[in-house]
Structure 1
Amino acid sequence: MRSVCCSAPQLAGLTPYDPKYLPAEAVLSANENPHDVEQEVRHEIMREVKRVALNRYPDPLANDLRDMIAEANGLDRDQVLVGNGGDELLFNMALAWGGPGRTFLNLPPTFSVYEANARLTNTTVANVPRRADFSIDEEAVLARVAEGGIDYLVVTSPNNPTGELAGETFVCRLLDATDALVMVDEAYFEFSRQTMRPYLGQHKNLVILRTFSKAFSLAGVRMGYLLGDAEVIREFVKVRQPYSVDAVSQAIARVVYANRAKFEPGIRAIIEERARVVDGLKRIPGVKPYPSDANYVLFRLENAGIIWEMLYGRGVLVRDFSRAPGLEDCLRVSIGSREENDAFLRALRDAVMGKCDLEVPSA
């Protein structure tokens, strides 16, 4: 007899997403911005939050914020949708374009949530693996969409966790080659300075995902948004949860977006530090960093899992991908403050050169 508490069959074998949230002196594992929101902007946020009527439901679609984002991107309000972080919008895509009898095209290794969302919605997953250097196998992708039967796909640019941009020419060829919905995940585009935004008017099947979590230092607030064709956005609206973005988050995001130019020096500092970290990694024997256009760097070395433990023993938390398919022996480090980056490079060099003991602190 079946248990009354038996969950849906598609959950079998699924592992919950685990960001490995652990205490550390230098948290360099979640691609967060090391610079918090500056005090002047925080004061303005507090003034705005004080005006929020906490006893009233928020604007369901965050229309004031939609208007701000639309104006900045030369779009209309109905071409923008705000979500509870990019994660809600990613799940909404699987709800609206996936399901039984439908297919998601995945380009692994990439953000694992894409495939998890497809499986949660009983969507078939078709994989076209990346090349050994983590670049997209462009001709293989185009050949697969030419076969038909693909309903949606995500091209992450820069890709997480590998760091490289998708080629603009390739994305345009892909958009021309298929009627499937093509999401370009630009969560890190402020660090790459590259966007597919100019092509929105030419391709109805293009939708762009962005977030406030990285460049705008709001990982703790949960705010993401889409840019796309108005008809596509309406399909997303059909599946979103009512009032998914609370009034306080909307107020914070409005202030931050109005002051987004003030975040530019911090973004430039991260880009400069990224180059310095890559150079530092290249100087450590046996470490191979991969090129990155984001605020993190993937690198490969022998015994990566043991090295991760050694780093954590020194108070430095990075992301361990060493057992993930296609990412064997890889770790990913987020770009932190200069001091955090120095601590990471020192600890890594000592670990590789055998100068530190394997000592893992209790969580």
Structure 2
Amino acid sequence: MLKYRAGLKNLPTYDVGEADWKIKLNANEFNMNLPAVVEDRVMGRLSRLAFNRYPGIEVESLKEQLAAAYNVQMDNILIANGSSEILEKVFFCLGGRNRKIVYPQPSFSMYKIYADLSGSISVPFDLNDDYTLDAEKFVDTVNINKAHLAVICAPNNPTGTAVPLRDIEYIAQNINCAFIVDEAYVEFADESAMQILSKYPHMIVARTFSKAYGLAAARVGYAIADSKVTTMLGKVFMPYHVNSLSAAVADIVYQMRHEYESRISMIKAERQRVNDELVKIAGVKVYPSKTNFILIKYDRAQQLNEYLYNIGIGVRSFGNAPRLDNCIRITIGLREENDAWIKAVRDFIVNN
């Protein structure tokens, strides 16, 4: 009889199943593939890849680029399989038996799962009713619990709300434990913790290529931190954990990141336009967003989600999830996609 480790049975499964959507807006993906000029460079690079060799050159090249862009040393950078792997390893390194990890709720659902997997004690911190973060209370919670790790998502997923840089710095100044800022959506925001990182050696910034750069399929992310921190984190990664194909693609994409500037601007403009349209619909509460998605609250959210599902529009409904009851998260897509789902929401509400 197989005897699994205690608590494993109770862990939720991260659902990645998909339907054949006409419009897919449920995973915060970028709804455009690589720019043509980037794709040409990527295919050329992959055609010269030494598939018979373990990863090395491609990962180092990407680290070199990132280090130059952020004016840090290469040993301040860790490359991983998405920022999710960075988060997982941070939880494993700094969490553990009788160690407490403080994170906001509602926020990225994997924080609790990583805490549980690492055998840590979860200390969820409730966001305000408008989903903003009270930095003073967060600091008090971290310090009272003598936490070993504090985590925030800035901007926050799934609420889309920003965490002002002044609040991030206040937290960094007033806690003594490790502090990781999950910046998966930062390219769609106005501020970044990178502006203050060099002042706080206990702080880690995690980023990803999956969102603004549309590389969700490649799974590439990175952490930036003091070299003493990256050295310790690096000990828990498997050898060659980032494959050469993904690293090579990310390397090209970052070289050509200027090609994405207009796309990111387009998403921001569409986000504002979508917000302006939604606030006109009676019964729909819209939360301010600094991400590539928008969160709405509607008292018949489950029925609305079913309606959208039946017409082939995939969104992320939270059902009765704590602090997210009757909430739906919708990725900002292309203009015609946004027009279609806004019309669908309006039609459902008018007719029901």
TM-score bracket for the superposition, by shorter chain length: over 0.9
Residues 83-120 of structure 1, C-alpha deviations (whole Å, 9 max, x = no match): 01111111111111111121110210000101100101
Please, which of 182, 188, 191 is the counterpart of residue 185 of structure 1? Answer: 182
CA distance in 2, matches of 1:236, 1:303: 45
Is the 1:60–1:244 contact (alpha carbons within 8 Å) kept by the matching residues of 2?
Answer: no
Specify the alignment match of 1:120 in structure 2.
117
CA distance in 2, matches of 1:106, 1:30: 22
Specify the alignment match of 1:210 in structure 2.
207
What is the CA-CA distance between 1:52 and the residue it aligns to?
Answer: 1.0
- Residues 318-357 of structure 1: matches in 2 within 5 Å? 318-354=315-351
CA distance in 1, matches of 2:349, 2:342: 11
What is the CA-CA distance between 1:340 and the residue it aligns to?
Answer: 0.6
CA distance in 1, matches of 2:137, 2:193: 21
Is the 1:10–1:122 contact (alpha carbons within 8 Å) kept by the matching residues of 2?
Answer: no
Specify the alignment match of 1:199 in structure 2.
196
CA distance in 1, matches of 2:302, 2:187: 31
What is the CA-CA distance between 1:60 and the residue it aligns to?
Answer: 8.5
Residues 105-153 of structure 1, C-alpha deviations (whole Å, 9 max, x = no match): 0210000101100101110001221111111132221212232520112
Is the 1:215–1:267 contact (alpha carbons within 8 Å) kept by the matching residues of 2?
Answer: yes
The one-letter amino acid paired with 2:333 is G
Does the C-alpha gap of structure 1 residues 61 and 199 become closer, same or farther in structure 2, counting only changes over 3 Å? farther
CA distance in 2, matches of 1:193, 1:36: 24
Q: Note the aligned Cα RMSD (angstroms).
A: 1.3
The one-letter amino acid paired with 2:314 is L
1:100 aligns with 2:97: yes
Is the 2:142–2:150 contact (alpha carbons within 8 Å) kept by the matching residues of 1?
Answer: no
CA distance in 1, matches of 2:214, 2:190: 17
What is the CA-CA distance between 1:200 and the residue it aligns to?
Answer: 1.4
Specify the alignment match of 1:263 in structure 2.
260
What is the CA-CA distance between 1:280 and the residue it aligns to?
Answer: 1.2
CA distance in 2, matches of 1:240, 1:266: 33
Is the 1:65–1:254 contact (alpha carbons within 8 Å) kept by the matching residues of 2?
Answer: yes
Specify the alignment match of 2:137 in structure 1.
140
CA distance in 1, matches of 2:7, 2:232: 24
Does the C-alpha gap of structure 1 residues 164 and 346 become closer, same or farther in structure 2, counting only changes over 3 Å? same
The runs of at least 4 aligned residues of structure 1 exceeding 4 Å deviation read none
Please, which of 305, 308, 316 is the counterpart of residue 308 of structure 1? Answer: 305
CA distance in 1, matches of 2:134, 2:105: 10
CA distance in 1, matches of 2:285, 2:307: 18
Is the 2:23–2:314 contact (alpha carbons within 8 Å) kept by the matching residues of 1?
Answer: yes
Secondary structure, aligned partner of 1:140 = helix
Secondary structure, aligned partner of 2:10 = coil
Specify the alignment match of 2:293 in structure 1.
296
The one-letter amino acid paired with 1:330 is C
Please, which of 16, 29, 33 is the counterpart of residue 32 of structure 1? Answer: 29
Specify the alignment match of 1:360 in structure 2.
none
- Residues 220-299 of structure 1: matches in 2 within 5 Å? 220-299=217-296
Is the 1:26–1:340 contact (alpha carbons within 8 Å) kept by the matching residues of 2?
Answer: yes
Does the C-alpha gap of structure 1 residues 130 and 20 become closer, same or farther in structure 2, counting only changes over 3 Å? farther
Unaligned runs of 5+ in 2: none
Specify the alignment match of 2:48 in structure 1.
51
Is the 1:168–1:196 contact (alpha carbons within 8 Å) kept by the matching residues of 2?
Answer: yes
What is the CA-CA distance between 1:22 and the residue it aligns to?
Answer: 2.3
Is the 1:128–1:137 contact (alpha carbons within 8 Å) kept by the matching residues of 2?
Answer: no
CA distance in 2, matches of 1:17, 1:25: 23
Taking structure 2 as the reference length, the TM-score comes to: 0.97
Specify the alignment match of 2:126 in structure 1.
129
Specify the alignment match of 1:75 in structure 2.
72
Is the 1:316–1:343 contact (alpha carbons within 8 Å) kept by the matching residues of 2?
Answer: no
What is the CA-CA distance between 1:20 and the residue it aligns to?
Answer: 4.9
What is the CA-CA distance between 1:43 and the residue it aligns to?
Answer: 1.0
Residues 39-61 of structure 1, C-alpha deviations (whole Å, 9 max, x = no match): 11111101101111111111199
CA distance in 1, matches of 2:104, 2:247: 33
The one-letter amino acid paired with 1:337 is L
Unaligned runs of 5+ in 1: 356-363
Specify the alignment match of 1:14 in structure 2.
11
What is the CA-CA distance between 1:171 and the residue it aligns to?
Answer: 1.5
Specify the alignment match of 1:170 in structure 2.
167
CA distance in 2, matches of 1:199, 1:96: 23
Is the 1:105–1:150 contact (alpha carbons within 8 Å) kept by the matching residues of 2?
Answer: yes
CA distance in 1, matches of 2:217, 2:253: 13
What is the CA-CA distance between 1:21 and the residue it aligns to?
Answer: 2.5
Secondary structure, aligned partner of 1:154 = strand
CA distance in 1, matches of 2:135, 2:243: 40
Is the 2:106–2:324 contact (alpha carbons within 8 Å) kept by the matching residues of 1?
Answer: yes
Secondary structure, aligned partner of 1:43 = helix
What is the CA-CA distance between 1:18 and the residue it aligns to?
Answer: 1.5
CA distance in 2, matches of 1:54, 1:193: 40
